[in-house]
Amino acid sequence: MGAEQVITGLTRGGTPWVAQFVTALDEGKCIGCGRCFKVCPRDVLTIVQRAVDDVDFDDDDDDDDDSDNSFMTLSNAMDCIGCEACSRVCPKACFTHSPMALAA
């Protein structure tokens, strides 16, 4: 019985790499900065507004970041190519990645 085979890609030079697909995005930790959205090449992510009840409209005391009125969601997770660009730019470590087994 061999090791489970996972989905891999190849670099231009022919070196294999293991795709690390996004499996979860911690919306509670997300500050809505939009960095992951800008770098994702596959339109996997969508930013949404927090519910009105969760939003602090008095934004001039302890909260100096307007962007946390929104958060990122995984809207097209099945389009992820596992490049990990989102995690490289995320300041809050919101993403969880995992390799994926090759279909038999």
Binding site for ligand SF4 (CB under 6 A): 22, 25, 30-36, 39-42, 44, 72, 80-86, 89-92, 94
For ligand SF4, the closer of residues 9 and 41 by Cβ is: 41
Count CB neighbours of 101 within 10 A.
10
Cα distances (Å, whole numbers) of residue 25 to 21, 76, 102: 11, 12, 23
CB of 56 to ligand SF4, least distance (A): 17
Q: What is the DSSP letter of 35?
A: H
CB of 103 to ligand SF4, least distance (A): 19
